[in-house]
A and B are shown apart, each in its own frame.
Chain A
Amino acid sequence: MARPPLEDEPGDKRREAGYLKQFSRAESVASIFRALFKWGGLAWIATQAAEAIRYLAGEATTADIGVDVNLIAGFRLSTLIAWAVAVVAVGYGLLQRKLRRNSIERLQRRIQALEQNRDPRRSSSGLTPRGETRPEDKL
């Protein structure tokens, strides 16, 4: 007689493995479209920027500078300050992220051990100790 299924018995494993493969395939196709949009957009913006810089290096700039030197200088200074603030903000964000990951790494082992005491069958997310995607899970 066939064994009655356990209540927590996982569904059809082969089917689940099939869905995982199918999802990975779908994700691969989607990632091609995403990459095209992401990199294509950046490339298009870069060509526009290059065009603008070429224009800036040409005759129009010389004519414009004569109009109001103070205005240009003010514009350049404010742009410089804005860029400096943006760079500092991004750097600050990256440092904070590093700090957060250090904290995760420091705390996760202890939490895992404490939770394991209460639930010996405790399952894990499978992320790295720093809470990052495992290299083999990256596309």
Chain B
Amino acid sequence: MTGALSAAFWISLSVGWIVLFWFYRDYSVDKFRQEMFALRDEMFDAANAGEIPFDHPSYRLLRSAMNGYIRFGHRLNLLSILFFIASLDEDSKEWIEENGLQARLDKAAASLPENARKQVKNYRLQMELLVAKQLIYGSPVLAASIILPAVFTMIIKFHLVMARRIRRHWRRFGGAQMDEAALAMGESA
């Protein structure tokens, strides 16, 4: 009986492993892309309603960054980001800080009316939260831990103030560099 149970356990575990590292990973990438598409559509609808001009640089930049994240969503994971950030020298980090998506968006959004500026800021916040969420849910190891994704979901759902704080840390952690890579990818599409 012990042998049968043990064999069943290991075979089940191998199937679970395949589901987690292959099927779940594919699913999480599709889900991330779907959510980013939905956000991009929402922004398109806002522009269509005349709230943000279609040809405004802030709209174009944000859309390009979203396109970049959609396109390389399958490459988005914590390990890659850590290696990417580690490979950047101080000069590059400084350049991104001064000329990256955030700086360009701030500059571009200055010419928008107050309401549109707020909207652009909000879409950017949502985009970054989606990316941060994907880094946690998209990792089979972290997702399998259940607790971390659950805590993250609760923070996002119930505490938008906390979400803003996460965004600040996310930017310090390497969000700005990721945004720059996504923007470059989106503009090259």
Contacts and interface: CB of A to CB of B under 8 A. Distances in A.
A55 interface: yes
A10 B187 contact: yes
A119 B80 contact: no
A47 to B, nearest CB: 9
A94 B10 CA distance: 24
**Secondary structure call for the A interface:** helix
B104 interface: yes
B181 A19 contact: yes
Interface stretch (B11-19, B119-127, B152-160, B165-173): B11-19
A24 to B, nearest CB: 8
**Secondary structure call for the B interface:** helix
A19 B188 CA distance: 12
A25 B6 CA distance: 42
A56 B4 contact: yes
Given A42-B18, A123-B60, A34 B54 contact: no
Interface in A114-139: 115, 118-119, 121, 123-127, 131, 133-134, 137-139
A6 to B, nearest CB: 8
Contact of B184 (A16, A34, A55): A16
B99 A11 contact: yes
Contacts, number: 161
Contacts of A53: 7
B3 A118 contact: no
Contacts of A10: 187
A138 B74 contact: yes
Contacts of A79: 8
Interface of B: 1-11, 13-15, 17-19, 21, 23, 29-30, 33, 37, 44, 47-48, 54-55, 57, 60-61, 63-64, 66-67, 70-72, 74-75, 77, 79-84, 86-88, 92, 95-96, 99-100, 104, 107-108, 111, 177, 180-181, 183-189
Interface of A: 7-8, 10-12, 15-17, 19-20, 22-23, 25-27, 29-31, 33-34, 38, 41-42, 45-46, 48-49, 52-53, 55-56, 58, 60-61, 64, 67, 71-72, 75-76, 79, 86, 90, 93, 97, 115, 118-119, 121, 123-127, 131, 133-134, 137-139
